[in-house]
Structure 1
């Protein structure tokens, strides 16, 4: 437990020492939410679909902002400390403990990012159930935090991995978010990471309710991603000779 706490503290200090991390977490949400909202509301209506209202556009901007920031943080957590982890394992640290510290720090950062996005929504929307909205924003962040971590475990290169995470988040938010430009999306879109979090967030914001089926689906998604991250990263490190079997 002592090593776990020390590891989490070290990760938090590393996060705060990078100004870009703080900017992404605190400043970018306002830009993304209002920018996405204005962009969606400004699109012309078309014969087959209705134009998205400004409020729904802002909501989609919030879920996209949480996803992309949490995804990039998950990517960085998996890539930036890989060599340090190998040295710590050789010094006697448990691989599972090290991975747990990375994921715990990532969860904490995701909650902060969700809180900032929620604060912006609180100022711009009439939210029916604030607690549910905050919880579902955080849940969407967890999904993409683990998506980013999985990309970092499989593709441990910062530039290429960032491109993959950004592309996935943009296409996911676009196709999952009732975009007027995506009128006839295929049925498999419902299996995209953000589809069910978007449904939960939309219902909680405008109606104060949620569908239990959506919640179960998202919970299963998070659990599956967590298992994949653990398995892929552990296998990769062990193959490289840094982790003990």
Structure 2
């Protein structure tokens, strides 16, 4: 537990000491929420959406900001683990502790990103169930944090991986929102499909759809297993 706690604390300090990433965490959500809101408000009759377009845009923007920031951290964790964690493992650090420290770092950033995104949304939108909305945002951020680990395992370069990730999150978010009518089956396999449905319901009417809650948790569990396999691959060696 001491090694795990030390590793998690060092990973978080490493993140906080990067002024660019720390500023991005605080600045990106408010900007994205307003940009998405204003952009969608200029199209009053979007297919596949109901309610006020500006509110819909801000909901989409808040989820995008939380998911992208967590995904970015997941990507960076996977890239930095390549080689580094294997050397630490050979020096005596347990692989479970090393992975746990990185997961805690990603989950912490996901929670902060969800908090900032929800606060940015609440400035202009009346959130019916704030706690449920936070949970949905945190779930979406966690899903993409784990997805970022997979991207980092397949594409171990921070710049290229970030560009791929921002495209995936944006496209996924649009599919999940129903703005594009691409068919129910395609939209339902999108990583943000369940978190978006949960978040929209929590913001607009304060409900928690059970099927989407279970589906989102199951999706995150599958990604966690895949992220573990990817971590072992990039860190080297076998689980220990």
Task: Determine the C-alpha separation between the residues in 2 that align with 1:25 and 1:49.
Answer: 29
Aligned residues: CA RMSD: 1.9
Aligned length: 240
* Uncovered stretches (5+) of structure 1, i.e. residues with no partner: none
Shift of the 143–47 alpha-carbon distance from structure 1 to 2, 3 Å rule, reads closer
Does the aligned pair in 2 maintain the 1:110–1:141 contact within 8 Å?
yes
Task: Determine the C-alpha separation between the residues in 2 that align with 1:47 and 1:39.
Answer: 15
1:208 maps to 2:167: no
Task: Determine the C-alpha separation between the residues in 2 that align with 1:48 and 1:224.
Answer: 29
Provide, for residues 201-234 of structure 1, a one-character-per-residue CA deviation record: whole Å limited to 9, x for no partner. Answer: 1111111102100000000010000000101221
Name the structure 1 match of 2:78.
78
TM-score by length of 1: 0.91
TM-score by length of 2: 0.93
Shift of the 184–91 alpha-carbon distance from structure 1 to 2, 3 Å rule, reads closer
Aligned counterpart in structure 1 of residue 221 of structure 2, from 201, 220, 223: 223
Does the aligned pair in 2 maintain the 1:177–1:198 contact within 8 Å?
yes
Task: Determine the C-alpha separation between the residues in 2 that align with 1:47 and 1:237.
Answer: 45
Shift of 1:29: 0.2
Name the structure 2 match of 1:114.
114
Shift of the 91–32 alpha-carbon distance from structure 1 to 2, 3 Å rule, reads same
Shift of 1:46: 6.2
Does the aligned pair in 2 maintain the 1:67–1:145 contact within 8 Å?
yes
Shift of the 235–46 alpha-carbon distance from structure 1 to 2, 3 Å rule, reads closer
* Uncovered stretches (5+) of structure 2, i.e. residues with no partner: none
